C-alpha cells in the first residue's frame, strides 16, 4: 500500500509539471491565500526547481506540529484516511497529475498534497483540528451518519475553506490552493461564498468531481478550533 517517491529520480515530465504548477499557483495566490499558507511555504522551503523530498518535509512538519507524512500510491477511502489523521499522519499521494489536468484534478495528487496541504499542517490550529476530526470519525460506528457529517466538515474546511483576513476572504483549503481552475471559480462574483456555519456545513453534500457550488468563509481563524466544542455537543446528542 505504501510507496516511496525519490525526487532525484522522478521523471523529467513530472518535474516539469511540478515547476509549472508551482509558478502558476504562487502567482495566483498572491494576496489570495491565508497568511498561514505563506508562512508554512516559507518554513518548508518549497522550491519550484524540483519535487521536494517527502522524508525531509515530514521531519520539518514533525518539529512544528508533531505530524508526519505518509507516502501512499493512491487516495484513500475516508475510513482509512481518517485513521491516519487520528494518528497525526497525513497521506501524500506520490503520483502527480498529467499535463492535461493542470487546471483541475478530481483526485488528490502529489502537488495537491505537498503544495496545498503540507504548508497548512505547520499551523498548530489546523493541525490540531485535523487530529480531532480523525479521532471523532474513528469513534463513530461504521455507517453512522456522523461519519458523513465529519467528512463534510473536513471537505469544506481543509479542502475548500476560506477565512476572513483584513476584510477579505483568503484561501486555506488545499483543493483551492492547488487548483487554478478552482481558484478562478471561487473568486468569480457569481459564486456564492457564505459565512461558515457548522450546522449548515455538516448537512451540505460533498462532491469532488466538479467545482464547488459554494464555499464557506470562517469569520476568523480561531473559529476553526472553536467549532470543535460545538461539534462535540452535536455528536453527543446524535
Catalytic residue among 58, 105, 131, 159: 159
163-190 pLDDT per residue, tens:
999 999 999 999 999 999 999 999 999 9
The per-residue pLDDT for 69 is 98
Class of domain 7-237: mainly alpha
Q: Is 87 a catalytic residue?
A: no
Nine-digit cell string for 201: 456545513
Please state the domain extents for the chain. 7-237
pLDDT value, residue 191: 96
- What is the pLDDT confidence band of residue 5, given thresholds at 50, 70 and 90? very low
> Per the residue annotation, which of 105, 112, 131, 179 is the catalytic one?
112
- Identify whether the C-beta of residue 75 lies closer than 8 Å to the C-beta of residue 93: yes
Output DSSP code: residue 112: I
Q: How far apart are CA 96 and CA 109, in angstroms?
A: 5
- Strand bridging mode 162-165 / 68-72: unpaired
**Alpha helix (H) residue ranges in the chain:** 12-28, 35-44, 54-65, 78-86, 110-111, 118-121, 124-139, 145-154, 174-177, 180-187, 198-202, 223-237
Band the pLDDT of 237: cuts 50, 70, 90. low
Question: What number is the average pLDDT over the span 6-10?
Answer: 47
Query: Does residue 159 have an active-site annotation?
Result: yes
- Which backbone phi and psi does 195 adopt, to 5 degrees? -65, 135
117 is catalytic: yes
Among 57-71, 120-134, 138-152, the range scoring the smallest mean pLDDT is 138-152
What pLDDT score was predicted for residue 55? Answer: 95
Gap between the terminal Cα atoms of the chain = 35
Question: Binning pLDDT at 50, 70 and 90, where does residue 109 land?
Answer: very high
- Exactly one of 105, 178, 179, 185 is catalytic; name it: 178
Inform me whether the pLDDT recorded for 162 exceeds 60: yes
**DSSP code for 92:** E
Q: Quick one: pLDDT at residue 102? A: 73
Name the binding residues for Fe cation. 112, 117, 159
Grid cell in block for residue 233 = 455537543
Distance of alpha carbon 40 from alpha carbon 227, whole angstroms: 23
pLDDT value of residue 4: 42
**pLDDT at 127 (0 to 100):** 96
Note the pLDDT tens digit of each residue in 84-103. Answer: 999 999 999 999 988 777 77
Backbone angles phi, psi at 186, to 5 degrees: -65, -45
Whole-structure pTM value:
0.91
**Amino acid 1: pLDDT:** 29
pLDDT attached to residue 212: 93
Let me know if 136 is exposed, middle or buried by CB neighbors in 10 A (0-12, 13-18, 19+): buried
Amino acid at each position: 500500500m505504501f510507496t516511496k517517491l525519490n525526487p532525484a529520480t522522478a521523471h523529467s515530465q513530472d518535474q516539469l509539471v511540478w515547476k509549472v504548477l508551482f509558478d502558476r499557483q504562487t502567482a495566483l495566490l498572491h494576496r489570495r491565500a491565508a497568511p498561514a499558507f505563506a508562512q508554512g511555504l516559507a518554513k518548508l522551503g518549497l522550491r519550484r526547481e524540483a519535487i521536494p523530498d517527502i522524508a525531509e518535509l515530514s521531519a520539518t512538519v514533525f518539529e512544528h506540529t508533531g505530524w508526519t507524512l505518509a507516502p501512499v500510491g493512491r487516495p484513500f477511502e475516508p475510513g482509512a484516511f481518517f485513521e491516519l489523521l487520528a494518528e497525526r499522519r497525513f497521506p501524500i499521494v506520490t503520483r502527480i497529475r498529467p499535463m492535461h489536468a493542470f487546471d483541475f484534478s478530481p483526485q488528490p495528487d502529489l502537488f495537491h498534497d505537498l503544495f496545498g496541504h503540507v504548508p497548512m499542517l505547520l499551523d498548530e490550529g489546523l493541525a490540531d483540528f485535523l487530529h480531532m476530526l480523525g479521532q471523532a470519525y474513528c469513534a463513530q460506528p461504521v455507517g453512522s451518519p456522523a461519519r458523513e457529517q465529519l467528512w463534510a466538515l473536513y471537505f469544506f474546511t481543509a479542502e475548500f475553506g476560506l477565512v476572513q483576513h483584513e476584510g477579505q476572504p483568503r484561501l486555506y483549503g488545499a483543493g483551492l490552493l492547488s487548483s487554478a481552475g478552482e481558484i478562478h471559480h471561487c473568486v468569480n462574483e457569481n459564486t456564492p461564498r457564505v459565512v461558515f456555519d457548522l450546522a449548515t456545513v455538516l448537512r451540505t453534500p460533498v462532491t469532488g468531481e466538479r467545482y464547488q457550488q459554494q464555499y464557506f468563509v470562517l469569520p476568523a481563524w480561531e473559529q476553526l478550533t472553536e467549532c470543535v466544542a460545538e461539534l462535540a455537543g452535536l455528536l453527543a446528542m446524535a
